[in-house]
Structure 1
Amino acid sequence: MKLPTLEFDLNAPAFVQNPYPTLAGLREQTPAFFEPTWNKVFFTRYEDISTILRDSRRFGRAITHILSRDELGWPAPDPRQAAFDAFQENHPLDNEPPRHTRLRSLVAKAFTPSRSEALRGRIEGLVNRSLDALRERESFDLVREYAEPLPVAVIAELLGIPEELRPKLRPWSAAIVKLYELGYTEQQQRAANTAVLEFSAALRELAALRRRDPKDDLITALVQVEEAGDRLSEDELIATSILLLNAGHEASVNGLTGGVHALLRQREHWDTLVRAARADAPLEVFKAAAEELLRFDTPLPMFERWVLEDCEVGGVPLQRGQEVALLYASGNRDPRKFARPDEIVLDRTPNPHLTFGLGIHYCLGAPLARLELGVALRALVSGFPDLRLADESAPACYGGGFVIRGIERLEVVPR
């Protein structure tokens, strides 16, 4: 198969606003293509994306463990983002076996599903207090006043971040994730590097404190975790903690606001959840709905992999050292995998969406994200059954780039 070349501006405002018609056309007519500006091979179909994600022998999040920077034709590391690069090198997501295996095993022993589930009462308290503060308002911004504070508070509670540091977490995360977009400014680069330095310094002090005075939090668990005499280094502990904040925050905020916006645009689905809440349906009903919303409007629409050895996927020849871009948002609406892919099906079963990834890099925080989104969605439909968009005719404003795509502001009317 000859791979077509296609110029594709991922950051075009119209595409970021609503990528799905374009992605549907690509998926049917040009399911894989080379984009020269970003020098990547893009894949749009579920089967191809799934194949790549599951094949850790031929595809990886990193490549410098098998090819040098000179062999790849890369410039020398940029000293302006030295702290950011060091952070990237020390967490599980951007490492490959055997180091990835070691890091993930250690982190998984500390960050267990039961530790996430133990936060359920705390999460319920957080969302209920947030909604109580909004109850007498004529309108409010769902993004800034409900969706954004929640995951930061949950991650802070999980890690054991002191109260005085918690207001800094959201700005640190927002600055750091700018470097994951395709294209960023020097100012954003400096801000991300500074955020890593400041966050790392705070975590270093906290880790030292937890060694002297252990608590029932994840920082303590990461400090203490051991497997066959092996422990996380301090840099690995810090990088993993930063990753948990960044990944947990961005996916949860964008997933919740995008999902609620979709429900309010298709009112029958919102009303279905209201009836479920009034019938005291179990949390699993709302977690299943959240899963479908994560499929329908994918909060992190694209991830990348490096080709580790010459191979072929879907008839497309790939060479070692190439980079592939996996359009999760397209795969999640592939009619070859999902019936009625452009519709919300609240009880879709099974729902093998790509949002949390697949394979060895499957999201460690998925149980916490499911819990958090399910609780937040149930509380919102229970507390504000008559919730409406303040302006039914105006489109939601998706700002920034495509890689971390989210609604910037969503004004809603509680009653």
Structure 2
Amino acid sequence: MHIDTERRRLFLDPSDPAFVADPYDAYDLARAAGPMLFWEQYGHWCLFDHAGVTAALRDRRLGREILHVATRPELGWDEVPAHLAPFYDVDGRTMLEREPPVHTRLRGLVNRAFVSRQVERLRPRIASLTHALIDGFERDGRTELIASFATRIPVTMIAELLGVPFGDIDRLLDWSHRMVAMYRIGRTRADEDQAVSATQEFVAFLQTLVEARRIAPRDDLISRLIEASADGDRLSEDELIASCILLLNAGHEATVHAIGNGVRTLLEQKLGADGTIDDATIEETLRLDTPLHMFTRYALEDLQIAGQRFRKGDRIGIMLGAANHDPLAYPDPRRLDPKRAGPAHPSFGGGIHFCIGAPLARLELQVALPILFQRLPGLHLAGEPLFADSYHFRGLTALELAWPVS
């Protein structure tokens, strides 16, 4: 890592093993030199302080989409390579990648079936699934938690919510992992080809499932989205399928990391051993080791932020993980403090793109983590946690745990 303070340039390989294991020292140095630096490896400016991040998330001059206000020639962009068109055709139709008025319409239609009261009714099912998973490894005295627990809860719940058959869950995981590789720096042509094939397989699968639900609706999200698309304000077939893919991918990827990071944090900081893990503790785990560290926006007009001028179309990195460790917002930020006062963490984003799945993610953590610690007294780390080289996501590839068995 190197910072050119005069030119406000950050040189940092996000795949560096030291950074993968612990990015927070680097964030502290960047924030002290910033609060905004140009990250050379990404080719855009990034905000590292809490005040700047939270303001940018709500700044309507910044957006996830830019081609609604500028053309590719104006921006100096090449056309999307032909081999990537199938991926971006789907990705570009999701609410996450759109701005008003299209975003407003898409989010409104999806939100009808994804509001908190719909999610809350899943509490008993999350609890029963959590117990069932623990039943599968409790007598072993040890488990690798990411595969046996952290992955299974969110993917099962989002699949059931949407109405995807249980037997297809492993296919969903495979498609999701291949698709999200597109968002990582340094992706290869092989990564791109895998993401495109996963997209095409995912779309074909959902087309068949949507057609089945049109013929025989059920009490699931896909059926409700079809019903919503039949009203005056419609979801097109392509928008419906893109929305389902977004909900399936985003509905489990980040939550897997949140569960793994949360359990590791609680064990390392010696909290939760008696199973009394309240909602405030869950929020602190989300702040202390959030599963998404960078969210990007485009400047929708010429503007100035933190003393830096931007032209329309410039990209800006909003560093959620760095904001959550800003000592001006959270004194002693590396300590997990359930009684911490201060601003709400931005781990789920903010503004019009605040994570639509936040109620479900929070509920899964609030239910699953206390049950895990209650069921496995003496739970402890049984190996060095292994973090994935998958920045801007922050998550574990393996978390070996053990506990005494009588």
Alignment of 1:100 with 2:103, yes or no, is: yes
Paired position in structure 2 for 1:345 = 337
Number of aligned residue pairs: 400
Paired position in structure 2 for 1:287 = 279
Q: Aligned with 2:140: secondary structure?
A: coil
Which stretch shifts more, 151-160 or 111-120?
111-120
Alignment of 1:173 with 2:162, yes or no, is: no
**Residue-by-residue CA offset, 1:264-315 (whole Å, 9 max, x unaligned):** 1121x133xx152xxxxxxxx5332221101100111111011111111222
Alignment of 1:47 with 2:51, yes or no, is: yes
Q: TM-score by structure 2 length?
A: 0.95
Could you say if the C-alpha distance between residues 187 and 169 of structure 1 is closer, same or farther in structure 2, counting changes exceeding 3 Å? same
Q: Aligned with 2:11: secondary structure?
A: coil
Could you say if the C-alpha distance between residues 35 and 275 of structure 1 is closer, same or farther in structure 2, counting changes exceeding 3 Å? closer
- For 1:2 and 1:65, the matched residues in 2 are separated by 36
* Cα drift, residue 3 of structure 1: 5.8
Q: 2:202 pairs with 199, 223, 230, which one? A: 199
- For 1:333 and 1:50, the matched residues in 2 are separated by 13
What amino acid is the match of 1:288? A
Q: 2:148 pairs with 127, 145, 148, which one? A: 145
* Cα drift, residue 6 of structure 1: 2.5
* Cα drift, residue 164 of structure 1: 2.9
- For 2:293 and 2:275, the matched residues in 1 are separated by 31
Is the CA contact (8 Å cut-off) linking 2:9 and 2:39 kept in structure 1? yes
Is the CA contact (8 Å cut-off) linking 2:330 and 2:342 kept in structure 1? no
Paired position in structure 1 for 2:93 = 90
* Cα drift, residue 350 of structure 1: 5.3
Alignment of 1:304 with 2:296, yes or no, is: yes
Same amino acid, percent of matched pairs = 39
What amino acid is the match of 1:383? R
Alignment of 1:117 with 2:117, yes or no, is: no
- For 1:405 and 1:80, the matched residues in 2 are separated by 29
Is the CA contact (8 Å cut-off) linking 1:286 and 1:377 kept in structure 2? no
- For 1:120 and 1:231, the matched residues in 2 are separated by 31
What amino acid is the match of 2:334? D
Q: Aligned with 1:42: secondary structure?
A: strand
What amino acid is the match of 1:51? A
* Cα drift, residue 146 of structure 1: 0.7
What amino acid is the match of 1:35? W
Q: 1:361 pairs with 333, 353, 371, which one? A: 353
* Cα drift, residue 211 of structure 1: 1.3
Paired position in structure 2 for 1:379 = 371
Which stretch shifts more, 225-234 or 12-21?
225-234
- For 1:179 and 1:226, the matched residues in 2 are separated by 29
What amino acid is the match of 1:217? D
What amino acid is the match of 1:15? F
* Cα drift, residue 385 of structure 1: 2.3
* Cα drift, residue 39 of structure 1: 1.6
Could you say if the C-alpha distance between residues 42 and 215 of structure 1 is closer, same or farther in structure 2, counting changes exceeding 3 Å? same
Q: Aligned with 2:139: secondary structure?
A: coil
Q: CA RMSD in A?
A: 1.7
Q: Aligned with 2:38: secondary structure?
A: strand
Q: TM-score by structure 1 length?
A: 0.93
Q: Aligned with 1:258: secondary structure?
A: helix
- For 2:240 and 2:403, the matched residues in 1 are separated by 42
Could you say if the C-alpha distance between residues 37 and 266 of structure 1 is closer, same or farther in structure 2, counting changes exceeding 3 Å? closer
* Cα drift, residue 401 of structure 1: 2.4
* Cα drift, residue 2 of structure 1: 7.8
What amino acid is the match of 1:139? R
Could you say if the C-alpha distance between residues 115 and 330 of structure 1 is closer, same or farther in structure 2, counting changes exceeding 3 Å? same
- For 1:289 and 1:245, the matched residues in 2 are separated by 26
What amino acid is the match of 1:95? R
Could you say if the C-alpha distance between residues 351 and 254 of structure 1 is closer, same or farther in structure 2, counting changes exceeding 3 Å? farther
Could you say if the C-alpha distance between residues 208 and 347 of structure 1 is closer, same or farther in structure 2, counting changes exceeding 3 Å? farther
Could you say if the C-alpha distance between residues 275 and 110 of structure 1 is closer, same or farther in structure 2, counting changes exceeding 3 Å? closer
Is the CA contact (8 Å cut-off) linking 1:43 and 1:325 kept in structure 2? yes
* Cα drift, residue 228 of structure 1: 6.7
Q: 2:30 pairs with 12, 19, 26, which one? A: 26
Is the CA contact (8 Å cut-off) linking 1:291 and 1:351 kept in structure 2? no
* Cα drift, residue 216 of structure 1: 0.6
Alignment of 1:397 with 2:391, yes or no, is: no
Which stretch shifts more, 221-230 or 18-27?
221-230
Is the CA contact (8 Å cut-off) linking 1:287 and 1:371 kept in structure 2? no
Is there any run of 5+ residues in structure 2 with no aligned partner, and where? none
Q: Aligned with 2:397: secondary structure?
A: strand
Paired position in structure 2 for 1:279 = none
Alignment of 1:257 with 2:260, yes or no, is: yes
Paired position in structure 2 for 1:244 = 247
Paired position in structure 2 for 1:406 = 395
**Residue-by-residue CA offset, 1:331-385 (whole Å, 9 max, x unaligned):** 0111121233221012435551111000000000000000011111011111112
Deviating 4+ runs (over 3 angstroms)? 347-351
